[in-house]
Structure 1
Amino acid sequence: MTDDGRVIALPDHLNHWVATQRWFAGRGEVPRLVSIGRWALPATEPGVSIRTELIFDAAAPTRTLYQLPLTERRAPLPGGDAALISDSGGSYLYDGPGDPAYGRALLTFILNEDSTVPGPAGARARGELLVDAVPGERPAVVVSSRVLSGEQSNTSIILDGVDAAGRVVRPVICKVFRMLHAGENPDVSVQSALARAGSRFVPEPVGCVVGEWVDPELPGVRLTGHLAFAQEFLPGAPDAWRAALASARAGEDFSEQARALGEAIAAVHADLAAVMPTREATPAVIAAEVERMRERFHGAVRDVPALAGYGSAVEAVFLRAEMAYWPGLQRIHGDLHLGQALEVPGRGWVLVDFEGEPLRPLADRTGPDVPLKDVAGMLRSFSYVAGTVERSAPGNHPPGRHQGAAAWGAACRQGFLDGYAERSGQSLAGQEALLDAFELDKAVYEAVYETLNRPSWLPIPLAAVRSLVAAVSV
């Protein structure tokens, strides 16, 4: 945005490239991108310039703000074809996270605490350290970088480095938030609070980048928010989804691992309740929460007609939850499933990605919530593993193995609940109505997702909906 308040249109090659990215909400449409601010990071490599653009789609009805880091080179980046956006006039433009020069500059900026880079129209960014580092634990020199594959809403860069003496130090992973929101990103604030509380169930935070920009909806209003988050990277730690899926396919018992995972989540919930705000589940709070679940179901019926026949039974599940006892509200993970837990050798389970559901408004992800939502999310995830195995080999399990997919899933669910109850010191007996409602809400969300993205997988969440309403009279 120029000093007189005008936005700057970006070239067509950026419009077409952004349209193909998984983090862009307007997939399928070519945007008309404009920039409201930018800043540069110093590059240590000659012939390379680094800048970050804050952009939105002027053709879209809403002003969703995105972060677009770019590097420009006078010569092509060896092995950088996957990150190449355009090459013309002797200049090569790359998506920043795919260029090692950007990763080095970003981590250096974060580690150089209180560093600030300004941009036009008052846009700026500053680096912040989040915990006190032991000398030698942070890389003085980044020797390699790579982008973590498979992410949808953000881009993470894994950085390997050495200290000033040339000794290898722990790698760092920098998550670059693509879709920006004003205010504290919960991935930064929640995980940092847990680390300060001494939790061993989260990676150690390193630092973050905080940005400042002009509100694209209300020119003249200045906003701040997190742009990137650096933390300890845990190599060789498979996520629980992969571990559980391998176990289920082999017909091997996973209930002890599930129990340990329940204990870890209960410990994280206890720490969050101790160090972050809580509030009472008043009748008004309960009524509003149940009403949101009703609204999500009615919205889902439009996308998944197969849900329409469950309307009365779903309402009965939600009504039963509304009349049940609700525990106090506190900060939670917010998007918990098996893919958000890493099994670290010698350390056990570690939880990651406390950002919550990225497509939900930030205000909905930064307040106290019901911890049983995290429990329900993990229960759904175990059932999804079982459904995935059953889908790939209906009715079959390896010769000599005693349990099929459904029995495997039931054992894991029970083990998880037992571990959670033991560590929390609270029996989950009497909480069935709430758990059923939160699981049902999650299954409805899954049904919409599968309809829009993987229609052949729709039977998995529909089976969960049938099971959860089966005991309710229609």
Structure 2
Amino acid sequence: MTQLEELLATWIPQQRWFAGKGLPVDTVTVEEQHVIIPGVPGLRALVVAVGQGGVADRYQVLLGLRRAGTLGSDLRHASIGSCELALEGSGGTVVRDVYDGAHDPELTGLLLQRLAEDGSGRAVRFRRLPGVAIRRGLRSLVLTGEQSNTSLVFDEEYILKLFRRLWPGHNPDLEVTAALAGSPFVARPYGWIEADLADPHTGDQVPTTLAMLQEYLRSATDGWVLAATSVRDLYGSPEIAPADAGGDFAGEAERLGSATAAVHRDLARALPTDVLSPAALAAMAGAMAGRLHRAVREVDALAPYASALRAAFDAFARLDAPLPVQRVHGDYHLGQVVRTDGGWVLLDFEGEPAVPVAERQRLSSPLRDVAGMLRSFDYAARHQLIGHPRAPELAGTARAWAQRNREAFSVGYAYGGGIDPEKHQTVLRAFEYDKAVYEVLYEARHRPSWLRIPLDSIAALAG
């Protein structure tokens, strides 16, 4: 390893966006080092391969450079260390302080300027969508809540999302958001940054999205926060029915359902659609059954429900009606939507960052997204009961809140022109079970105290 790679081997596993937590890091290799801003202070885009258990995942590191010993107090929290780096345009090296450049507004402001200019470098390219203008000279601030990516807000006008986990190809978030440009239900896209990345299978250089710039929604409130507040208010007066509580969320759930249907309609118009053949349907059901099999082997508590889950997947495989498929969100839940002054807006069409781009681009039934949101209502209702001294007493209230909002969302979705979930229960049940199985595995591995949430939901669905 070089000195830089040694520093990264210590720093990367500590970052929120690192997907390999809990596993030892075997190798760290800087595959690409693109100079975006030469000199000092300087900025480079690194593609770093992290090997774990025989598998290498690629990550983007936006590397800031300063002269050794000159890193200011405002950037020390982003420090990676000091090491020798090659000088641009010469064969020599020099010691530099290196740090996470996303936290340096002096440098990130130049990213915004390059996007405004729609400039194309040899390696890193800055693209602006046609017909948009981008203001320059704005100061950035890194948001602190994200897990898998890093977002910079420029003076509450733009948000630049840096994709940390890299897969060759155009990121679905950019692809889908650009296709929906002009919709009131998505944040307006402005541009993106890309570079070529080698396909690990073919070796071909593939244009790959490093970051995307969108409108920042100043008045937005996270959907999960709104739902959790509604639940908390209800738990304060559990003798009141959810419909009579002051913080009733059902109206918002219905409006969210209508917004979701509108986005699905727009996606079907803008991007490819298809109808699954019986063989493709059987393959999808088989994949669901395979995930269940693996989950049962790992989580004993799931075994009592395995036969009911398999029956749902088998019924899905035997559908006698065509199943229309299209591009969907792919990772839809209350944390992926925000309520603004103008209504609901859907975010983060990236899908699951741990899955290759080609898989995230596969067509699916829009009921997959519906199922994800229905599961999210269950989580919003039940997660506050973990460790709650009155959990047994409030369990019925949690179920009532979740059911009311599940029904309201489904009504809104059908009213908004989507597939009526009530008339397609076989498909919806299979997707919801499949999502719950995923949740069981996730909670067993990462949050064992939350395992009862998906297990209780499966028990209720199977009952």
**Pairwise same-fold verdict (TM > 0.5):** yes
1:103 corresponds to 2:93: no
1:422-468 Cα distance to aligned partner (Å, 9 max, x none): 11164333311111111111111111111111111100011111122
1:120-148 Cα distance to aligned partner (Å, 9 max, x none): xxxx11011124225xxx32212x32212
Residue 117 of structure 1 is matched in structure 2 by 121
Residue 175 of structure 1 is matched in structure 2 by 161
Report the Cα distance in structure 2 between the residues aligned to 1:282 and 1:214, rounded to whole angstroms: 33
Q: Percent identity?
A: 39
1:239 corresponds to 2:222: yes
Report the Cα distance in structure 1 between the residues aligned to 2:427 and 2:420, rounded to whole angstroms: 14
Per the TM alignment, residue 377 of structure 1 is displaced from its structure 2 partner at its CA by 0.4
1:204 corresponds to 2:188: yes
1:368 corresponds to 2:350: no
Q: Helix, strand or coil for the counterpart of 2:423?
A: coil
Equivalent residue letter for 2:104: D
**Any residues of structure 2 matched to 1:274-313 within 5 Å, and which?**
274-313=269-308
Q: Aligned-residue CA RMSD in angstroms?
A: 2.1
8 Å contact kept, 1:440–1:464: no
Per the TM alignment, residue 230 of structure 1 is displaced from its structure 2 partner at its CA by 0.7
Q: Helix, strand or coil for the counterpart of 2:32?
A: strand
Residues 428/365 of structure 1: CA separation in 2 closer, same or farther (3 Å cut) = same
Match of residue 421, structure 2, among 428, 431, 438: 428
**Any residues of structure 2 matched to 1:371-450 within 5 Å, and which?**
371-391=366-386, 392=388, 393-396=390-393, 404-424=397-417, 426-450=419-443
Report the Cα distance in structure 1 between the residues aligned to 2:382 and 2:428, rounded to whole angstroms: 19
Report the Cα distance in structure 2 between the residues aligned to 1:431 and 1:420, rounded to whole angstroms: 13
Equivalent residue letter for 2:401: W
Residues 64/410 of structure 1: CA separation in 2 closer, same or farther (3 Å cut) = same
Report the Cα distance in structure 2 between the residues aligned to 1:425 and 1:291, rounded to whole angstroms: 26
Per the TM alignment, residue 109 of structure 1 is displaced from its structure 2 partner at its CA by 2.1
8 Å contact kept, 2:3–2:83: no
TM-score (ref. length: structure 1)? 0.87
Residues 279/443 of structure 1: CA separation in 2 closer, same or farther (3 Å cut) = same
**Any residues of structure 2 matched to 1:32-431 within 5 Å, and which?**
32-42=27-37, 47-58=40-51, 60-74=53-67, 75-87=70-82, 91-113=96-118, 115-118=119-122, 124-133=123-132, 138-142=134-138, 144-160=139-155, 171-195=157-181, 198-215=182-199, 221-251=204-234, 252-324=247-319, 325-345=321-341, 347-391=342-386, 392=388, 393-396=390-393, 404-424=397-417, 426-431=419-424
Match of residue 10, structure 2, among 12, 16, 20: 16
Report the Cα distance in structure 2 between the residues aligned to 1:148 and 1:34, rounded to whole angstroms: 28
Per the TM alignment, residue 396 of structure 1 is displaced from its structure 2 partner at its CA by 4.9
1:31-89 Cα distance to aligned partner (Å, 9 max, x none): 4211222211227xx84111111121256522322211110112223322321111479
Report the Cα distance in structure 1 between the residues aligned to 2:421 and 2:198, rounded to whole angstroms: 47
Report the Cα distance in structure 2 between the residues aligned to 1:454 and 1:157, rounded to whole angstroms: 29
Report the Cα distance in structure 1 between the residues aligned to 2:294 and 2:106, rounded to whole angstroms: 45
TM-score (ref. length: structure 2)? 0.88
Report the Cα distance in structure 2 between the residues aligned to 1:425 and 1:330, rounded to whole angstroms: 13
Report the Cα distance in structure 2 between the residues aligned to 1:181 and 1:101, rounded to whole angstroms: 28
Equivalent residue letter for 1:73: R
1:2-24 Cα distance to aligned partner (Å, 9 max, x none): xxxxx978431111101222322
Report the Cα distance in structure 2 between the residues aligned to 1:217 and 1:316, rounded to whole angstroms: 37
Q: Helix, strand or coil for the counterpart of 1:256?
A: helix
Q: Helix, strand or coil for the counterpart of 1:82?
A: helix
8 Å contact kept, 2:168–2:198: no
Q: Which runs of 5+ in 1 are unaligned?
A: 1-6, 119-123, 161-169, 398-402
Equivalent residue letter for 1:202: V
Equivalent residue letter for 1:40: V
Q: Helix, strand or coil for the counterpart of 2:20?
A: coil
Report the Cα distance in structure 2 between the residues aligned to 1:273 and 1:214, rounded to whole angstroms: 31
8 Å contact kept, 2:109–2:136: no
Per the TM alignment, residue 298 of structure 1 is displaced from its structure 2 partner at its CA by 1.2
Per the TM alignment, residue 213 of structure 1 is displaced from its structure 2 partner at its CA by 3.1
8 Å contact kept, 1:41–1:105: no
Match of residue 460, structure 1, among 432, 453, 456: 453
Report the Cα distance in structure 2 between the residues aligned to 1:350 and 1:15, rounded to whole angstroms: 38
8 Å contact kept, 2:116–2:136: no
Residues 318/88 of structure 1: CA separation in 2 closer, same or farther (3 Å cut) = closer
Residues 59/317 of structure 1: CA separation in 2 closer, same or farther (3 Å cut) = closer
**What is the count of residue pairs matched by the alignment?**
434
Match of residue 21, structure 2, among 24, 27, 31: 27
Residues 282/11 of structure 1: CA separation in 2 closer, same or farther (3 Å cut) = closer
Report the Cα distance in structure 2 between the residues aligned to 1:30 and 1:61, rounded to whole angstroms: 10
Per the TM alignment, residue 394 of structure 1 is displaced from its structure 2 partner at its CA by 1.2
Report the Cα distance in structure 2 between the residues aligned to 1:56 and 1:454, rounded to whole angstroms: 28
Per the TM alignment, residue 309 of structure 1 is displaced from its structure 2 partner at its CA by 2.6
Equivalent residue letter for 1:457: W
Residues 455/158 of structure 1: CA separation in 2 closer, same or farther (3 Å cut) = same
Q: Which runs of 5+ in 2 are unaligned?
A: 85-94, 235-246
Residue 4 of structure 1 is matched in structure 2 by none
Report the Cα distance in structure 2 between the residues aligned to 1:425 and 1:185, rounded to whole angstroms: 26
Which sits farther off after the overlay, 359-368 or 459-468?
359-368
Report the Cα distance in structure 1 between the residues aligned to 2:334 and 2:63, rounded to whole angstroms: 33
Per the TM alignment, residue 207 of structure 1 is displaced from its structure 2 partner at its CA by 0.3
8 Å contact kept, 1:10–1:34: no
Report the Cα distance in structure 1 between the residues aligned to 2:393 and 2:385, rounded to whole angstroms: 7
Equivalent residue letter for 1:212: D
Report the Cα distance in structure 2 between the residues aligned to 1:99 and 1:111, rounded to whole angstroms: 19
